């Protein structure tokens, strides 16, 4: 007789996988991982388990060690998130030149581009990892160039269109400033806030693309000898981690790299201006409460599965992360399109508020091309579909957002929601 079972023991944080055995094997034989038949699992599989998979020790927080030393490392991701925040700050300084912001975006080691000296000393850059995933862009240099040109263009447009009109009231066809409650928004002649396009665009082109289409992809996780080395516990030279462990951690770092305690990140969601912030925003919506923990638990269990060399479990968790992070982007795209309708349709339209929401929505729509369907090789939306949405958003009249209609916002929002497992009404709240 053959038997197999899986038991998740929440109290101990152990996921045990027992295995096949024959009735003729001696009862109580010890498997190679030290777990004895009939013990721990509470199931007698009839004798020795050959082979016996290692138990997944799933800790309560994202803490993993080898020989008493942490194996978790994602400093490069923390650096790029910090660079991104400083670049966004430069969009709000009308005395900044396009050359300076471009240099920050495409930073070279040792250049004095940032206020933070550690960032200046780094050999990392944001631009080099924008639209740079192995799965989507390793053989798609054309789209990569077009996408990076978009980010370069938003930088140039902020400096050449918006900065010269920093103190000019904006109106249809004229860049300048608009009141939004106690805030001031600085928009293009068509109503776009380029800083929001840059920011929300990077949520897709940098963070989501690197997480979903690069570091969590078997293309990267199982590259070359990664699986064999992980099986044998071969660590990178001078490091405490295997390459596979590190790649998973780098994905984790793009979400949690600026949290005060990255091992328990949901305690302070909103630690950066990118995915972390908007996971928190979606978590605060009662329709999606629990999504933050779903993402965290999948990251944690997937990492534990790598330690236990159980790659099917690893891959299952990666697919959960792909779906949930993609949904975050889709939800916020719909949310901002719907939020803009009320200020647009007031007796006296509140253009500052509406254009701020629509600029954020524009950036999240842009990011849809970097999402990833679970158990698939493609994004929820193609680049062509995304480009069409953005044309539609700006094409109700010659003045872009000044002319956009609620009907157009509803049409785009419904088309986005229809591709996901949430409704327009759920995302709009």
Which of 57, 87, 103 is a domain's end point? 57
Q: Which residues contact 118 (CB under 8 A, 6 or more apart)?
A: 79
Q: Is 273 inside a domain boundary?
A: yes
Instruction: Write down the pTM of the prediction.
Output: 0.90
Q: How many CB atoms lie within 10 A of CB 268?
A: 14
Q: Where are the alpha helices (DSSP H) in 264-347?
A: 275-283, 291-307, 311-339, 341-344
Q: What are the tokens at 177?
A: 């400033």
Residue 26 has pLDDT above 70, yes or no: no
Number of domains comprising the chain: 2
Q: Are residues 133 and 42 in the same domain?
A: no
Cα distances from 144 to residues 131, 137, 276, in angstroms, run 6, 6, 24
Structure tokens at 228: 């064999």
Instruction: Kindly tell me if the per-residue pLDDT of 134 is higher than 90.
Output: yes
Looking at the structure, do residues 51 and 76 belong to the same domain, yes or no? no
Burial class (CB in 10 A: 0-12, 13-18, 19+), 174: middle
Is residue 315 one of the residues assigned to a domain? yes
CB 205 within 8 A of CB 151: yes
Is residue 65 within a helix (H) or strand (E), and if so which, with residue range?
strand 65-66
pLDDT tens digits, residue range 47-81? 444 455 689 999 999 999 999 999 999 999 999 99
Residue 65 belongs to a domain: no
Verify that 269 and 348 share a domain, yes or no. Answer: yes
Domain termination residue (choose one: 30, 57, 84): 57
Q: Which of 2-16, 124-138, 410-424 has the lowest mean pLDDT?
A: 2-16
**Is it the case that residue 45 has pLDDT exceeding 50?**
no
Task: Using the predicted structure, report yes or no on whether residue 409 has a pLDDT greater than 80.
Answer: yes
Residue 234 belongs to what domain range? Answer: 72-429
155-176 pLDDT, tens per residue? 999 999 999 999 999 999 999 9
In this structure, the answer to whether residues 337 and 387 fall within a common structural domain is: yes
Cα–Cα dist 323/371, whole Å: 8
pLDDT at 52: 57
**194-209 as b/e: b if 16+ CB within 10 A:** bbbbbbbbbbbbbbbb
What's the chain's average pLDDT? 91
Q: Is there a single domain that holds both residue 36 and residue 143? A: no
Mean pLDDT across 264-276: 97
- The answer for residues whose C-beta is within 8 angstroms of residue 101's C-beta and 6 or more apart is 87, 90, 91, 155, 158, 159
Structure-token pair, residue 91: 């969009």
Q: What is the pLDDT of residue 18?
A: 40
């Amino acid at each position: 007789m053959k038997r197999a079972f899986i038991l998740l023991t929440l109290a101990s944080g152990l996921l045990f996988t027992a295995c096949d055995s024959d009735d003729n094997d001696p009862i109580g034989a010890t498997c190679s991982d030290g777990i004895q038949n009939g013990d721990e699992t509470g199931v007698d599989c009839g004798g020795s388990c050959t082979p016996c998979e290692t138990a997944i020790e799933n800790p309560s927080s994202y803490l993993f060690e080898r020989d008493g030393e942490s194996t978790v490392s994602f400093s490069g991701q923390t650096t790029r998130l910090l660079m991104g925040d400083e670049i966004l700050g430069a969009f709000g300084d009308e005395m900044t030149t396009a050359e300076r912001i471009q240099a920050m975006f495409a930073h070279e080691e040792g250049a004095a581009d940032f206020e933070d000296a550690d960032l200046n000393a780094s050999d990392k850059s944001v631009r080099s990892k924008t639209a740079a995933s192995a799965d989507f862009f390793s053989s798609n240099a054309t789209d990569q160039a077009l996408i990076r040109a978009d980010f370069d263009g938003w930088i140039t447009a902020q400096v050449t269109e918006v900065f010269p009109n920093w103190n000019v009231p904006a109106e249809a066809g004229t860049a300048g400033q608009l009141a939004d409650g106690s805030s001031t928004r600085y928009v293009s002649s068509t109503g776009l806030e380029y800083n929001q396009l840059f920011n929300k665009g990077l949520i897709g082109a940098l963070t989501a693309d690197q997480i979903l289409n690069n570091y969590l992809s078997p293309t990267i996780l199982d590259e070359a000898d990664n699986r064999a080395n992980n099986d044998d516990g071969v660590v990178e030279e001078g490091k405490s981690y295997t390459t596979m462990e590190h790649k998973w951690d780098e994905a984790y770092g793009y979400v949690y790299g600026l949290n005060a305690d990255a091992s328990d990140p949901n305690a302070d969601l909103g630690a950066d201006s990118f995915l972390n912030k908007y996971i928190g925003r979606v978590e605060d919506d009662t329709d999606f409460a629990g999504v933050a923990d779903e993402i965290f638990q999948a990251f944690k269990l997937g990492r534990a599965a790598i330690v236990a060399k159980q790659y099917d479990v690893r891959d299952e968790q990666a697919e959960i992360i792909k779906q949930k992070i993609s949904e975050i982007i889709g939800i916020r795209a719909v949310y901002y399109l719907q939020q803009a309708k009320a200020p647009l349709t007031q007796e006296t339209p509140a253009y500052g508020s509406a254009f701020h929401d629509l600029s954020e929505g524009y950036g999240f729509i842009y990011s849809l091309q970097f999402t990833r369907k679970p158990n698939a090789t493609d994004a929820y939306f193609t680049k062509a579909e995304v480009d069409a949405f953005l044309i539609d958003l700006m094409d109700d009249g010659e003045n872009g957002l000044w002319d956009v209609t609620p009907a157009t916002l509803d049409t785009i929002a419904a088309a986005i929601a229809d591709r996901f497992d949430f409704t327009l009404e759920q995302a709009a709240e």
